Amino acid sequence: MALVPRVFLPAEQIQNRVREMGRQISLDYPQGPIYLVAILKGAFMFLADLSRNITTPSRIEFMGISSYGRGKTSSGEVKVTKDLDVSIEGQHVLVVEDIVDSGVTLTYLINVLEQRKPKSLRIATLLDKPERRQRDVEVAYVGFQIPDEFVVGYGLDFDEDHRHLRDICVLVEEGLGLGTRG
């Protein structure tokens, strides 16, 4: 049976929440630049929308981290696959992540970034699955807390598929899906 995406969080709701998050971040950081460090690939769409809703001057940087192999389960192993091109010493850094699940990826990343002596270091995630947490990680900005469901779309993938969808979706067996407007 093929798995098809069914809408879980519609695009409008995501856009409204991301606008609010941008407003809050702009208030919390009156002074720029904020280094928005997005984690590839899942955070690319959230970064694009969040950054456009932050009025404080910002800079866009990317890091690649792999913790998951193929599929839905973590390999448990974390490594930096693409590092920053710039120094973040003395800078305000906001890590932009798609989803915090076990917390293993971010715990590792925060350790790596702390050693580079940023002026401040916080995390903004679109989604948070608190039920799945294995590592205690402090997340300053959360878009939505969601139950333990595997979601795709708005940057998130299942084996590299579905990242382009405007909505965040769950995967259901074909015939049960309501379709999307991706």
- Number of Cβ atoms within 10 Å of the Cβ of 119: 12
CA angle 66, 108, 94 (to 5 degrees): 90
Residue 180 interface partner, choices ligand IMP, Mg ion, none, CB cut-off 5-8 Å depending on type: none
CA angle 85, 141, 34 (to 5 degrees): 35
CA angle 172, 176, 179 (to 5 degrees): 80
Taking CB under 6 A as the criterion, the residue among 18, 156, 165, 169 binding ligand IMP is 156
Q: What is the DSSP string of 86-101?
A: S--TTSEEEEEEEEES
Q: What mask, x for binding ligand IMP by CB under 6 A, covers residues 38 to 57?
A: ----x---------------
- Number of Cβ atoms within 10 Å of the Cβ of 33: 12
Q: Which stretch binds Mg ion (CB under 5 A): 12-20, 69-77, 125-133, 157-165?
A: 157-165
Shortest distance in whole angstroms from residue 44 CB to ligand IMP: 11
Total residues contacting Mg ion by CB under 5 A comes to: 1
100 in contact with ligand IMP (CB under 6 A): yes
Q: What mask, x for binding Mg ion by CB under 5 A, covers residues 99 to 138?
A: ----------------------------------------
The encoded tokens of residue 144 equal 């939505």
Taking CB under 6 A as the criterion, the residue among 7, 54, 104, 124 binding ligand IMP is 104
Burial of 66-80, coded b for 16+ CB within 10 Å and e otherwise, reads ebbeeeeebeeebee
Near ligand IMP in 160-179, by CB under 6 A: none
Dihedral, CA of residue 59, residue 64, residue 70 and residue 76, to nearest 10: -120
Give whichever of 37 and 152 is closer to ligand IMP, judged by the CB atom. Answer: 152
Closest CA to 113 of 57, 24, 39, 4: 39
Residues with active-site annotation: 101
Residue 5 interface partner, choices Mg ion, ligand IMP, none, CB cut-off 5-8 Å depending on type: none
Interacting residues toward ligand IMP by CB under 6 A: 42, 67-68, 74, 97-105, 150-152, 156
- List residues near Mg ion by CB under 5 A: 157
